[in-house]
Amino acid sequence: MNLQNKVVIVTGSSSGIGAATAVRFAKEGAKVVVNYDVNETGGGETLKEVQKFSPDSILIQTDIRNENDVNRMCDEIKAKYGRVDILINNSGFYCDEDDPDNLDAIEKTFAVDFFGQVRVTIAMRKLMDKGKIIFISSVNGKIGYGGPDTAGYSAAKAALDSYMKNLAKEVAPDILVNSIRPGRTLTRMWDGITKEHEAELMNDVATGHWVMPEEIAEGTIFLVKNDSMCGEILTIDGGMGLRIFG
């Protein structure tokens, strides 16, 4: 797929992986819908950077847990561009109280990380005749990864991976659907981490360093440009699997 003038929406693009991905698509000549929920400042900063390369890009606020919000976003995109060519489902949430016994925390996580992404996908498909859909999942979605403090998060990502596979079967060949599983990526989630904790986390990473948001963005570009990838999960984790299961 040639990305020039394609319409791409990147959910949760006010910082981190989403922001890097939005800018990367803009550099390819795509028209980018920058999306945020609560981080308006970050959304504005991403849009400013995106518009250096793609002036006809826009910013939309959306709470993907809310069906009316998602429908409003669709209406705005339809009015502006008339279509969507590429959907990058990046919005995510991690609850600090995540625990196997904390149903409230698990429900909050699923509301964004699974049901929110599914809700956006169903809505955006109405604006897609042909195109690509990429889900940003997590290595925690792999069987055996994660821990008690990521019980809900890991389960939501595993559910998302399964949903992606079955969606890919339904919508191919018109829409090709794939996922990326990032490993420990240097985003705002890790703000304030101590040097000791960082060193402990990197012990599980074969490369010995963080995955950078820009590296995940490059993965999305690869998957979208490739017209033979369908129903696949691209893992970019610095070799965590080698250390954890090696």
CA distances, 229 to each of 77, 175, 225 (Å): 26, 11, 9
How far is 9 from 228, CA to CA, in rounded Å? 21
CA distances, 203 to each of 46, 144, 149, 151 (Å): 32, 17, 18, 21
Q: Which of 234, 7, 20 is nearest to 137 (CA)?
A: 234
Residue 36's contacts (CB-CB under 8 Å, 6 or more residues apart) are: 12, 13, 14, 42, 43, 46, 59, 61, 62
CA distances, 101 to each of 12, 18, 118, 163 (Å): 28, 31, 25, 24
Residue 11's contacts (CB-CB under 8 Å, 6 or more residues apart) are: 18, 35, 62, 64, 87, 88, 89, 90, 91, 117, 120
Q: One of 94, 145, 153, 163 is an active-site residue; which one?
A: 153
Q: Is the dihedral of CA 181, 189, 39, 49 positive or negative?
A: negative
How far is 118 from 89, CA to CA, in rounded Å? 9
Reply yes or no on whether 153 is catalytic. Answer: yes
**Residues labelled as active-site residues:** 153
